[in-house]
Amino acid sequence: MTHDDELFLRRAIELAAMSRASGDAPFGSLLVGPDGAVLAEDHNTVLTDRDISAHPELKLARWAARELNPDVASATTMYTSCEPCGMCAGAIERSGLGRVVFALSNEQLTGLKPPAAGTGVRQDGPALYDEARVPVEGYYL
Ligand SMILES: [Zn+2]
């Protein structure tokens, strides 16, 4: 963690505070390109957009995949106020971004929240392999 990393993380924390002040959940993120320039910033808008996927990390991962060429994306760092959730981590992996730097870990975030209700969504599978593989086979070759 460099001095610049800490400066950009502080900006992510500032975006998180601004998000909370504007009525959304307290999470913020930014992308910093290979030359150290801020390319994009965003914050959580789950409540104001009524969109369960409106996490800043996901929005920025989508932006990076759409707007950056792969060489620039792989040399770009996402700074985020909290460790990306599973949804966002998957999108970041697909975006081509090269690095993520976060402030709070998910464990630290959990420690700041009331106990979670519910036990998650039931998932059944795998099933029907012989049928389900047909549209996939050969696609990635
Ligand atoms: Zn997320």
- H or E, element range at 57: helix 56-67
pLDDT digits (tens, 9 = 90+) for 7-26: 999 999 999 999 999 999 99
Mean pLDDT of 130-135: 95
Return the active site residues. 57
Whole-number Å distance, alpha carbon 88 to ligand 1 midpoint, is: 4
* Mean of pLDDT values over 92-112: 96
Average pLDDT over residues 91-114: 95
Q: Is 80 exceeded by the pLDDT of residue 118?
A: no
Residue 126 DSSP class:
-
pTM for the full predicted model: 0.90
Note the pLDDT of residue 131: 95
| Ligand 1 centroid to residue 124 C-alpha, Å | 24
Distance between Cα 94 and ligand 1 center (Å): 14
* 4 CA to centre of ligand 1 in angstroms: 24
Instruction: Give the model's pLDDT for residue 137.
Output: 95
Phi, psi of 81 (to 5 degrees): -70, -20
| CA distances in angstroms from 61 to 66, 95, 130, 133, 135, listed in the order given | 9, 5, 34, 29, 27
Average pLDDT on 45-62 reads 98
